[in-house]
Amino acid sequence: MIPVPTRSQRVVHWFRNDLRLRDNRALSAAAARAGELVALFVFDDRLLAGDGAGAPRIRFLLASLERLRADLATRGHPLVLRRGDPAREVPAFARAVKADELHWNADYGPYARRRDAAVRSAVSRDGVAVREHKDRVVYSEAELRTQGGDAFRVYSPFRNAWWRRWAEAPERPEGPLRLPKPVPAIQSGSLPTAAELDAEGDSIELPTAGEAAARRRLDAFLDGPVERYADGRDRPDLDATSRLSPYLRLGAISPRVCFERAFAAERERPRMRPGLRKWLDELIWREFYVAVLAAHPHVVTRSFRPEFDALRWEEDEAGFRAWCEGRTGYPFVDAAMRQLAQTGWMHNRARMVVASFLTKDLGIDWRRGERFFQSRLIDGDLASNNGGWQWAASTGTDAQPWFRIFDPVTQGERFDPEGAYVRRFVPELSGSPDRYLQRPWEAPTPPRDYPAPIVDHAERRAWTLRRFEAVRPAPAARGGRATRNREQESRDGATDRRRGRGKNLELF
């Protein structure tokens, strides 16, 4: 039975990865049910101290909270800030303000789920009702299942099921937010400084944070660049993608708003359709990886496909350091790693190539690369980062087949054809002739201040094929439930293809 709202209630909205006021499902529901409302954010010491949060993302979080606090203040509401273990801080706060209800938006990682279960059980003992809402994704993993009722393991059928669901039950953004009165006599706490959170020490210039900036960026992208997205999205030398990932990561904008705005743009300018549809499919990759994480939490520590847990990874500290510092001697890889160091963001094509290089050319465990990305990316996100790394390492759900190994030279020649990306981030090569830019060691006089390749790609490719060959299961050994699931999904996919849906089965 749906509880009848009584507006005399005192309600707490706990902000987490949803730092916005508009189209925020939990906040809207809390506001609709509350007589008095108070907004809370907790700096979780475990997340601040762990691998999960590097300095640039913490500073972006602080800037996003600053904006959120200002947005709330213009509506007469404080943002209460606490620091510590949410399992203690949230129940203590709910008790202190005598809350009747506590609302939050669902989070899907295993740590977040344990944390939320602990908060739920603590506040329930105090008689506070918890209401969890779906917000981070348009459709959750529980809403999208194969015909056999299992979680999807392959992107294309997931995407087709996603679009079918959209056709039946599209999820639109919430209407305007009407906030009730604030809980009296509660002040906004002061935000910690970056230094207090140990988040200084680099010169990365962050994008403007906050909800308004996210919407401006979306509008600017839909106003032009999206037109060439289908062709340009693989070119790191062009500014052809939305760069919305840091905003989506902290929830400064909702996926529903992205879909709604994209459809509005398509209605106004139908010629944008190919770019827009391709872009929306990328947003569905994001939802796919959230679904994978929710259904298969073991991916956080292990390979999605257990057979690849038997792979032996190299302890190559010098190789790892060269990769981190952008000094591998492969210009496209080095440009990408320096883009990450200098901007806190990296282009998707470049992420795929550097992840392949680390795991397949250097044979280093994907988890080390994943952690490094997580500590450097402003958009570092458990689901997408883990999904991207396991894809590149061929250990994941719908991964790059293990025998496909990116050649860092040809990838550079193809996706940075004029060399603008390499020249921008690897100044040692700025004067290099086009012909040798992606393979400077072949130049008659190789640049003196740029390293020679740390490995020979052709040799490493053959070596990696042998490593994978040794652990992949023999065809007769394949079977069991996982295989049956995949077969069921391919049947779903085949049906989709017969019906003319999901023509593009290519990954990325």
Q: Which residues are known catalytic residues?
A: 282, 285, 313, 348, 366, 389
103-142 footprint of ligand FAD as x/- string (CB under 6 A):
----------------------------------------
Which residue of this chain has its Cβ atom nearest to ligand FAD in the complex?
Answer: 388
Closest to 60 (Cα-Cα) out of 197, 189, 241: 197
Q: Binder to ligand FAD among 15, 152, 289, 421 (CB under 6 A)? A: 289
Q: Is 244 in the site for ligand FAD (CB under 6 A)?
A: yes
Element (H, E) at 257: helix 255-268
Q: Nearest distance from residue 505's CB to ligand FAD, in Å?
A: 15
Kindly tell me which residue out of 24, 28, 156, 242 binds ligand FAD, with binding defined by CB under 6 A.
242
The distance of closest approach from Cβ of residue 345 to ligand FAD in the complex, given in angstroms and rounded to an integer, is 7
Instruction: Fill in the amino acid letter for 324.
Output: C
**The one among 82, 88, 134, 243 contacting ligand FAD by CB under 6 A:** 243
Report residue 491 CA to chain centroid gap.
29
Q: Does 252 bind ligand FAD (CB under 6 A)?
A: no
Interface with ligand FAD by CB under 6 A: which range of 105-113, 299-307, 372-380, 462-470? Answer: 372-380
What is the DSSP secondary-structure string of 25-75?
HHHHHHHHHEEEEEEEEEEEHHHHHSTT--HHHHHHHHHHHHHHHHHHHHT
Tell whether residue 241 is a contact of ligand FAD (CB under 6 A): yes
Question: Which structure tokens are listed for 8?
Answer: 């005399």
Residue of 16, 115, 217, 233 that binds ligand FAD (CB under 6 A): 233
- Nearer to ligand FAD by Cβ, of 54 and 91: the residue is 54
As measured in angstroms, the least distance from the Cβ of 59 to ligand FAD is 17
User: For 504, phi and psi rounded to 5 degrees?
Assistant: -85, 100
What pairing do the DSSP bridges indicate for beta strands 101-105 and 34-44? unpaired
Q: How far is the CB of 303 from ligand FAD (least distance, A)?
A: 15
Q: Which of 260, 263, 316, 258 is nearest to 282 (CA)?
A: 258
Q: Which stretch binds ligand FAD (CB under 6 A): 29-37, 55-63, 152-160, 238-246?
A: 238-246
Task: Please enumerate in sequence order all residues whose Cβ is within 8 A of that of 103, keeping only pairs 6 or more positions apart, or say none.
Answer: 11, 12, 13, 14, 26, 27, 29, 30, 130, 131, 132, 133
| Backbone angles phi and psi of 78, in degrees to 5 | -85, 165
Least Cβ distance, residue 373 to ligand FAD (angstroms): 6
Q: Token pair of 4, please? A: 């009848």
Q: Are strands 79-84 and 129-133 parallel, antiparallel or unpaired?
A: unpaired
When asked if residue 377 is in the footprint of ligand FAD (CB under 6 A), the reply is yes
As given in the structure block, the two tokens for residue 210 are: 């906050």
Q: How far apart are CA 65 and CA 72, in angstroms?
A: 10
Helix 211-222 vs helix 255-268: crossing angle, to nearest 10: 30
Closer by beta carbon to ligand FAD, 146 or else 385: 385
Altogether, the residues listed in the chain come to a count of 508
Q: Which is nearer to ligand FAD, 9 or 245 (CB)?
A: 245
Cβ-based neighbours of 95, under 8 Å, separated by 6 or more: 126
**Measured from the CB of residue 89, what is the shortest distance to ligand FAD in angstroms?**
26
Element housing 352 (H / E): helix 348-356
- Between 26 and 392, name the residue whose CB sits nearer to ligand FAD: 392
- Residue 255: both structure tokens together: 């996926």
Query: Which of these segments, 101-109, 242-250, 332-340, 424-432, binds ligand FAD (CB under 6 A)?
Result: 242-250
Minimum CB separation of residue 391 from ligand FAD in Å reads 6
Task: Tell me which residues in 378-417 interact with ligand FAD (CB under 6 A).
Answer: 379-381, 384-385, 387-389, 392
Give the three-state DSSP class for 486. Answer: helix
Q: Are strands 79-84 and 181-182 parallel, antiparallel or unpaired?
A: unpaired
CA separation for the pair 217, 196 (Å, rounded)? 30
Binding to ligand FAD in span 435-494, by CB under 6 A: none
- 286 contributes a contact to ligand FAD by CB under 6 A: yes
- Contact between 245 and ligand FAD per CB under 6 A: yes
Amino acid code (one letter) for 148: G
Q: Give the whole-angstrom CA distance, residue 63 versus residue 356.
A: 33
Least distance between ligand FAD and beta carbon 410 (Å): 18
**Please, which residues have CB within 8 angstroms of residue 139's CB and are 6 or more apart in sequence?**
162, 165, 166, 171, 287
x-or-dash string of contact with ligand FAD, 342-371, rule CB under 6 A:
------x--xx--x----------------
**Quick one: DSSP state of residue 379?**
T
Taking CB under 6 A as the criterion, the residue among 10, 249, 256, 486 binding ligand FAD is: 249
- Count of residues of this chain found to bind ligand FAD when the rule CB under 6 A is applied: 28
Q: Does 283 bind ligand FAD (CB under 6 A)?
A: yes
Which range, of 25-33, 81-89, 283-291, 494-502, touches ligand FAD by CB under 6 A?
A: 283-291
Binding residues (CB under 6 A) for ligand FAD: these are 233, 241-245, 248-249, 282-283, 285-286, 289, 348, 351-352, 355, 373, 377, 379-381, 384-385, 387-389, 392
